[in-house]
Structure 1
């Protein structure tokens, strides 16, 4: 099964500029070639003989792009520099923070019931201290 439906021009083996006479003459050789069924060939010829249906089919099926032989030369200026440059930040020092089991257990302990405070308690190691504040220069 073909990947795409062939155009009527492909079925009959004629150029896009073929007239009615060329369409009629192309039916016989297309039948003898046997590449397409009799029904496909007859439908293609009938479509191309009708000017309105032919125009509609031509507008719905755009022409294939023409090959570009000098593609490498055309793209050379764009390929001189890489298209995307990613600057990665330096890796942190090799020392990894250690998390002890006791600290982890303290993070997931249930709060005491009946407390008046609606907010859950913050573990001590996450409590705010002066190290989280930005340095402020005090004017003299």
Structure 2
């Protein structure tokens, strides 16, 4: 079973430019070929004989591509240059790279200690609470 519905031109085996006479003459050979049912052949011939319906079919179906002679010559200017040009950024100088010791890297990604097993670390003196951070409060007498 075909994946698409054949066009009336395919059913009758006539070109898109076929006239009424060619369509009428193509019905008998199409019936003898037996590739399509009698109903499909009659429907295709009736559709192509009717100018308005034929125009509708012609507008719905794309034209087959015309063969191109010397395709390589036509494509030569486009293929002369590379199809994809990738500009890669230059690498920075070697002395600008940061070097990490394995111990530093391991310390950064180490699993945190489970909560409650170690006492809390002491707070540095510079972050300790003192009166300098509190607003002035007037105490009533």
**Normalising by structure 1, what TM-score?**
0.64
Question: What are structure 2's unaligned runs of at least 5 residues?
Answer: 115-119, 121-141
Deviations 1:90-118 (A, max 9, x none): 49869963443333238x579x7xxxxxx
Q: How many pairs does the alignment contain?
A: 112
Distance, in Å, in 2 between the alignment partners of 1:25 and 1:46 is 13
Deviations 1:62-93 (A, max 9, x none): 21111112111111111112122223344986
Larger deviation, residues 14-23 vs 28-37: 14-23
Normalised to the residue count of structure 2, the TM-score between the two structures is 0.63
- Using the alignment, how far apart are the partners of 1:103 and 1:42 within structure 2? 81
Structure 1 gap ranges (5+): 113-140
Please, what is the CA RMSD of the aligned residues? 3.2
Larger Rg: 2
Pair 96,53 (structure 1): closer, same or farther in 2 beyond 3 Å: farther
Is 1:25 matched with 2:30? no
